[in-house]
Amino acid sequence: MTPNGRYAAASCRFFAIRACAMGLILLAAVAMSPTTARAAPAQAVATTHVYLLRGVLNIFSLGLDTIGARLQAQGIPVTVANFVSWSSLADEAATAYKAGRLKTIVLVGHSSGATALPDMIAKLNHLGVPVKLAIGLDSVFKTRLTTGAERYINIYIGDGPGEPVRAADGLRGKLDNVDVRGSGVGHISIDKNEAIQRRVIAEIDAAIMRSRAPAAPVAEPGAPRQARSAAATAPARN
- Ordered per-residue pLDDT tens for the chain, 238 residues: 544 444 444 444 444 444 444 433 333 332 333 333 344 556 667 799 999 999 988 888 999 999 999 999 999 999 999 999 999 999 999 999 999 999 999 999 999 999 999 999 999 999 999 999 999 999 888 788 888 899 999 999 998 888 899 888 878 889 999 999 988 999 999 999 999 999 999 999 999 998 876 544 433 434 443 433 333 333 433 3
pTM here is 0.71
Q: Residue 142, class by beta-carbon neighbours within 10 Å (0-12 exposed, 13-18 middle, 19+ buried)?
A: exposed
Residue 171 φ/ψ, nearest 5 degrees: -60, 130
The structural domains of the chain, with segments of one domain joined by +, span 1-28, 42-214
| pLDDT for the residue 66 | 97
CA quadruple 207, 146, 100, 90: dihedral positive or negative?
negative
| pLDDT for the residue 12 | 42
> What DSSP element (H or E) covers 125?
helix 117-126
Hey, what amino acid is at 232? A
pLDDT by residue (tens digit) across 115-144?
Answer: 999 999 999 999 999 999 999 999 888 788
| pLDDT for the residue 157 | 93
Distance CA 141, CA 233 (A): 26
Cβ neighbours around 20 below 10 Å, total: 10
- Superfamily of structural domain 42-214: Alpha/Beta hydrolase fold, catalytic domain (3.40.50.1820)
Distance CA 206, CA 200 (A): 10
